[in-house]
Chain A
Amino acid sequence: TQLLEQSPQFLSIQEGENLTVYCNSSSVFSSLQWYRQEPGEGPVLLVTVVTGGEVKKLKRLTFQFGDARKDSSLHITAAQTGDTGLYLCALRLNSGGSNYKLTFGKGTLLTVNP
């Protein structure tokens, strides 16, 4: 059973459109991070959310953390071709000991067409 489910798996949109991708877990987690990975590169950290209900904005990107700390969403407004990439969510479980260990979802592969 996959601990983290990301949806949709693939998303292809036109430049200028809005989109939302989701990350859901069966477990409560202490913090959640979103990364973007471009082809041939490593993931780059976008944001960390730690408080239930938290909303963070990064230019056209809005990240939301669910109240129950089991889900998160990423909304992109007016997508640009430069937003193309694999969006990964990663969590640390809400248990002590090995909180350095991140569990990643499989990601949402976003393609923004010109």
Chain B
Amino acid sequence: NAGVMQNPRHLVRRRGQEARLRCSPVKGHSHVYWYRQLPEEGLKFMVYLQKENIIDESGMPKERFSAEFPKEGPSILRIQQVVRGDSAAYFCASSPLEVGGLFGYTFGSGTRLTVV
């Protein structure tokens, strides 16, 4: 399967724990985007990364959330000290270059985070 791989598919955390969401982009894609989908809301942009660089994190909460895309390995979205409001589906998407015009994203199947 050459698609975007996200794991885990489902993640349950207690309040105050850390959540780590992993995303392996399509082979050859060097641009990764994270989106969050809350119940009753649309997909919201969180962060855009290239290898070893955060390009735009304007959609990511300033506290408790961080993202990285190291030279080797998957992109990681990390949520520290999770709260119930963090419960959502988190989607990763990748593209072969900066998306514009005709190019669209390839999305993964998402990680569904439940905070109890």
Contacts and interface: CB of A to CB of B under 8 A. Distances in A.
A49 B100 CA distance: 12
B110 A42 contact: yes
Contacts of B91: 42-43
Contacts of A99: 99-101
A103 B104 CA distance: 13
Given A100-B31, A107-B42, A42 B109 contact: yes
B69 interface: no
Most buried by B among A42, A92, A100, A105: A42
Contacts of A33: 104
Contact of B43 (A30, A43, A98, A100): A43
Given A43-B91, A92-B100, A107-B42, A102 B105 contact: yes
Nearest to B107: A42
B98 interface: yes
A5 to B, nearest CB: 11
Nearest to A38: B109
A41 B110 contact: yes
A98 B110 CA distance: 23
Nearest to B31: A100
B102 interface: yes
